[in-house]
Amino acid sequence: MVCMGDLTNTTENNQVCLKYGEKWRVHRRLSHTAVGTQSLKEHRSFQSDESTLLLRDILLQPSDYVAAIERYSCSVVSIIGWGRRIDKLNDQVAQMALAFMEVVNAVIPGQAMMEIMPWLTKLPSWINPWPMRVLAGATKHTRYFYEMTKESAETRPEASFSKRLMQEQKDNGLSWREIGNLTSNLIGGGVDTTSSSMISLILAMCCFPETQRKAQAELDCIVGRSRLPTHDDSDSLPYTTALVAEVLRWRTATVLGGLPHAPNQDDTYQSYHIPKDTWILGNIWAIHRNPRDYPEPDAFRPERFLGGLERAHPNKKGHSAFGWGRRVCSGQGLAEQGIWLVAATVLWGFDIKPGVDDEGNEIPLDIFAYTASENQRPEPFEARFIPRSAEIEKMILDEAEAARERLRRYDGETKVKLDDIPSLHLD
């Protein structure tokens, strides 16, 4: 990749851009220590506490539900990466996470002329200044994440991804660029897509109220109204689990299946000759909307994913929201765990309805009103979050206070400031 790889000096330093080989396997292994299946249980306690604070934030400021969701997503990955949580969305790390949302558009075919004509990157900077500007900005951000990782490993008492990476640097010579990319990937891959799926969940509940009622009936039967849902309830809530799978199918965040793949040798598929290193993108929008596999694809029907239904989709999950093959998203389990918990707790706590106009009439919503970007999300829309009872409202506030106390061990500010990082490191 030219723009997302060569220009940012990540072709040999980032798991996303690395060709399959020993270095890629090292990066993949390290990523799995942070967000892989074996690490999920150790994240559940703070993930649960952060979801409780998300409920509180929505209760107190329902009009800012998008900001509340983004803060939640940022905080979870920040705890995993650096052992410190994010309390406000104006936190510097959170702001950088939101800025990453734009970078991923570089993988849209034809989005950048330099991707089509790579020779443009070789022109003198006085003719084409963009390569030097992109390199300077990318290097500065990579160094920022490295310095944050180094600081966290030295100062934070909790075990974290940072400590693991700094030990790996000491033992196996991992470069600062590799470490900066590994930690920034947590932000780049774990915030925007997760937040977008959660916002799509809210839109679906506004537009398909009967589905919402079915999920709430299941939650009332299994969980009741005297406690919040927990991860331990997941096996007993099949409809809620199916609802999350349908969100991921119905409006997959990555409409082109995420980052492109490429064959490492010339290949032929049916009558198509595919040269080595050709971009291969999966049209996930079309795959997840194929009427043969998903009848009435625009309808939101969790029943598609309930046991016993036959599906033509080849994998066990019944969708490919996290990509394919060896490069399937490393954080798939963490994202599914987080989206499930938010879906269960928000549906347990609130009746979710469309916003109303000045006359009290519900504002019509468009299920196709999404951003034109690689990581799509609904265009801004108003939603109401009505506590399902006075007792539930009080419980949210009480549980949030207890959750905030448990999370205090992750409090703390980083002394690393982006403005203090030189624009370009050539070492």
> Residue 269: in which H helix or E strand, if any?
strand 267-269
Looking only at the bridges linking them, the beta strands covering 272-274 and 267-269 are antiparallel
Q: Which of 43, 283, 58, 321 is nearest to 186 (CA)?
A: 43
Taking the C-alpha atoms of residue 10 and residue 353, their distance in angstroms, rounded to an integer, is 44
Query: Any idea where the domains of the chain sit in the sequence?
Result: 2-420
The confidence score (pLDDT) of residue 426 equals: 47
The confidence score (pLDDT) of residue 427 equals: 45
| pLDDT averaged per 10 residues, the chain (length 427) | 87 91 94 88 95 98 96 94 90 78 72 86 91 88 92 86 93 93 86 93 98 98 96 96 96 87 93 92 91 93 80 77 88 93 98 96 96 91 97 97 96 88 61
Taking the C-alpha atoms of residue 317 and residue 296, their distance in angstroms, rounded to an integer, is 19
| Dihedral angle over CA of 106, 112, 115, 117, nearest 10 | 180
- The angle at the Cα of 96, spanning 90 to 101, to the nearest 5 degrees, equals 115
For residue 217, how many other CB atoms are within 10 A of its CB?
11
Q: What is the three-class DSSP state of 147?
A: helix
Taking the C-alpha atoms of residue 416 and residue 302, their distance in angstroms, rounded to an integer, is 45
> What is the domain class of 2-420 according to CATH?
mainly alpha
Taking the C-alpha atoms of residue 182 and residue 322, their distance in angstroms, rounded to an integer, is 18
Q: What is the pTM of this model?
A: 0.93
- The angle at the Cα of 348, spanning 88 to 387, to the nearest 5 degrees, equals 70
The confidence score (pLDDT) of residue 208 equals: 98
Q: Which two tokens stand for residue 419?
A: 């403005």
